[in-house]
Amino acid sequence: MKFQAQRQHVVELCLELSRRGYFAGTGGNIMLRLDAAHVAVTPSALDYHAMGAADVCVLRLQDLATVDGERAPSVESGLHAQLLRARPDMGCSIHTHQPVASACALLGRELAVPPALRASLGDAVRIAGYAPSGSGLLAARLARTLRPGGNAYLMRNHGILCCGRDSAAAMQAVDDLETLARGLLAARIAARAAAEPGAAPALQRVSELLTQPPHP
Ligand SMILES: [Zn+2]
């Protein structure tokens, strides 16, 4: 099998993202750069707990032609490829429907990044306009949103896309984006509770749920 160790690493990343609550069911996918011309990507619609290295697809980055693997590649391969083609300094791209940052993607605004998180997330978390999952239009909208200084993106009414120079950095960006989103939503809830004292007890309960750690 070509690139067996890297394909197994993709499986292990999926299980870790699932454990942290960022991947649920078959929602979420990863692209890992293998060399200058090739990438590994999660297969389409396969449970992470049933996935083995041979199920991970090896594609040519330039045209997404399958080089190895029997399975159909993730429908979001085009999305990841736009990012990895535009950012040759990045080695790994992760798309999730992680709960809190995806909630921020419903608000339709980019997120400011505090200095402490800029090494991981970049200068701002920009937002790509809505398009259906797996569509060329979504990949095109993401391509227009990409900036060299941005490692994390919201996709309106859908989820997020993060990248890093390697898989550990991409995982850190996923974690940091969820932390940032949690803080921003908690601040919005607190402001609303201050403005509407009658709603404060209910908002307090929402805030407590929100500020629980994302994973044990
Ligand atoms: Zn998605």
Residue 137 three-state SS = helix
Tell me the whole-structure pTM to 2 decimals.
0.93
The CATH number for 15's domain is 3.40.225.10
> Within 10 A of 195 (CB to CB), how many other CB atoms are there?
9
Range of the domain at 119: 4-184
Amino acid at 123: D
CA of 6 to the centre of ligand 1 (A): 23
Q: In whole angstroms, what is the distance from residue 43 CA to residue 51 CA?
A: 9
Query: Both tokens of residue 121?
Result: 């997330």
Identify whether 206 is part of a domain: no
- pLDDT 10s digit of each residue in the chain, 216 long? 999 999 999 999 999 999 999 998 778 999 999 999 999 999 998 899 999 999 999 999 999 999 999 999 999 999 999 999 999 999 999 999 999 999 999 999 999 999 999 999 999 999 999 999 999 999 999 999 999 989 999 999 999 999 999 999 999 999 999 999 999 999 988 898 889 888 888 888 888 888 776 555
What is residue 104's predicted lDDT score, i.e. its pLDDT? 92
Closest CA relative to residue 143, chosen from 158, 157, 159, 161: 161
Identify whether 211 is part of a domain: no
Identify whether 22 is part of a domain: yes
Identify whether 131 is part of a domain: yes
CA of 129 to the centre of ligand 1 (A): 14
Q: In whole angstroms, what is the distance from residue 174 CA to residue 151 CA?
A: 10
Q: In whole angstroms, what is the distance from residue 194 CA to residue 190 CA?
A: 6
> Within 10 A of 172 (CB to CB), how many other CB atoms are there?
18
What is residue 30's predicted lDDT score, i.e. its pLDDT? 98
Identify whether 82 is part of a domain: yes
* DSSP string over 54-78: GGSEEEETTT--EEE-SSPBPTTHH
CA of 133 to the centre of ligand 1 (A): 6
What is residue 111's predicted lDDT score, i.e. its pLDDT? 96
Q: How many independent structural domains does the chain possess? A: 1
pLDDT tens, 32-81?
999 999 999 999 988 999 999 999 999 999 999 999 999 999 999 999 99
Query: Both tokens of residue 81?
Result: 């490829």
CA of 195 to the centre of ligand 1 (A): 35
CA of 75 to the centre of ligand 1 (A): 9
Task: Give residue 100's Cα distance to chain centre.
Answer: 12
What is residue 214's predicted lDDT score, i.e. its pLDDT? 56
What is residue 28's predicted lDDT score, i.e. its pLDDT? 94
